[in-house]
Chains A and B, each alone.
Chain A
Amino acid sequence: MCLAIPAEVTELLPDEMARVNIDGVGKIISVALIENLKVGDYVILHVGYALTRIDPEEARHTLALLAELGGVAEPAS
């Protein structure tokens, strides 16, 4: 449900709009639903709107946990 992807904010524009970059694809989107957005922030983009900001700390935390889980895996016999 609800196709949405991470996008990096590259420029804040008037009228609560912003330019974002997704791996070399640029798009102008609405950021009216997000407060205190800064250039360099990553947002979740859905149908032309930023829904939420991605928390880089929490993302790192999840990856660290996944790495830890992988580390304790017994090799399949």
Chain B
Amino acid sequence: MSDKRRKLNLRTGHVDLSHGSGGRAMAHLIADVFHAAFNNEWLARGNDQAAFDVGQGRMVMTTDGYVISPLFFPGGNIGSLAVHGTINDVAMAGARPLYLSASFIIEEGFALAELKQIADAMGAAAREAGVPIVTGDTKVVERGKADGVFISTTGIGALPDGLDLSADKARAGDRVLVSGTLGDHGIAVMSKRANMTFDTDLVSDSAALHGLVAAMVAADGAGIRVMRDPTRGGLAATLNELAQQSGVGFRINEESIPVRPAVAAACELLGLDPLNVANEGKLVAIVAPEAAQGLLAAMRAHPLGQDAVDIGEVIADDHRFVQMTTSFGGGRIVDWLSGEQLPRIC
């Protein structure tokens, strides 16, 4: 019996069912793809769980699934997106993200080179954010039973004392701040979808926002009521959720909402509304009116908040409408998106 390692063929090889069967092939895949990419002391111990010290105070925990088509898009791929998205869900509580886990469901026949690219992007994103992926899992399903690869991630973080942000805390008079341009991620991804392709230099805004959040908490944590990252459904979905949770309405100003010209153009082309388009590196903060200026300044001082703006206010409204004053001075309701966002001809 030779225990000689046969290297995985990461250039032209494919994932097969043996890579998920608990045998030697699986051990090789985990070592050569995931451990190589994530590379930290917890994984190196080779356990099915990670042990670590917990500080005083409250923890936050979040879990998330990633399914995206196409898997690779301008500005990132499913791997970097999974890290950023999970860190952001932790960060939106005002918390400092500490550790991530990652679980992969891979379709038989998936190219090892692509899997490595995804894992490498995850590792790089985690290192850059300073939040290690300390435990994981791999499953392989038969061809046709998954769309290449699905990733589930869990993140945990530590909450600074005295911070309790929550979706039911928006009050009439509060201000609505957004950290930058809207719709970049959704349009960048859409530009590569079959039968819809268009050329654009736009890249996804996928980014980890915990640094920006830390700067805001340091500036005036007590002034923040709630933060959200407006992913699926865009700003419209986020504000409608908060309106429901807090029992308030919103009035936002169309003219102050930042949208890149190319995003606006792609939305015109396909008949979409930038307010419904996904973001992966932006946050919305509902803040006390007296804290708005200070927080805005803190956001603008951070690279991920340079274009931060105050786009409007929370209002008392039993109907819980999100209203927008159009650039015309007229009014409209900004509703949830109905069903999935479909390009229109009329």
Residues of A near any B CB (own CB < 8 A): 1-3, 5, 22-27, 45-47
Contacts and interface: CB of A to CB of B under 8 A. Distances in A.
Contacts of B202: 24
Interface in B266-324: 266, 268-269, 271
A1 B345 CA distance: 8
Contacts of A2: 345-346
A18 to B, nearest CB: 13
Contact of A27 (B199, B271, B345, B346): B199
A6 B201 CA distance: 20
A20 to B, nearest CB: 10
B200 A26 contact: yes
Contacts of B261: 23-24
Given A23-B261, A25-B262, A3 B198 contact: no
Contacts of A46: 345
Interface centre among B200, B269, B346 (most CB of A within 10 A): B269
Interface of B: 191, 198-202, 260-262, 264-266, 268-269, 271, 344-346
A46 B345 CA distance: 8
A26 B202 CA distance: 11
Given A3-B271, A5-B269, A25 B345 contact: no
Interface centre among B200, B201, B268, B344 (most CB of A within 10 A): B268
Contacts of B271: 3
B268 A24 contact: no
Contacts of B260: 24
Closest 6 CB pairs of A and B: A26-B199, A24-B262, A23-B265, A22-B265, A23-B261, A25-B265
A17 to B, nearest CB: 14
B265 A24 contact: yes
Contacts of B346: 1-3
Contacts of A23: 261-262, 264-265
Nearest to A1: B346
Given A23-B261, A23-B264, A47-B345, 17 more contacts: A2-B345, A2-B346, A3-B271, A3-B346, A5-B265, A5-B268, A22-B268, A22-B269, A24-B200, A24-B260, A24-B262, A25-B262, A25-B265, A25-B266, A26-B198, A45-B269, A46-B345
5 contacts: A1-B346, A5-B269, A23-B261, A26-B198, A27-B269
A1 B271 CA distance: 11
A45 B345 CA distance: 11
Given A26-B198, A26-B200, A3 B345 contact: yes
A30 B126 CA distance: 45
A27 B268 CA distance: 13
Contacts of A1: 346
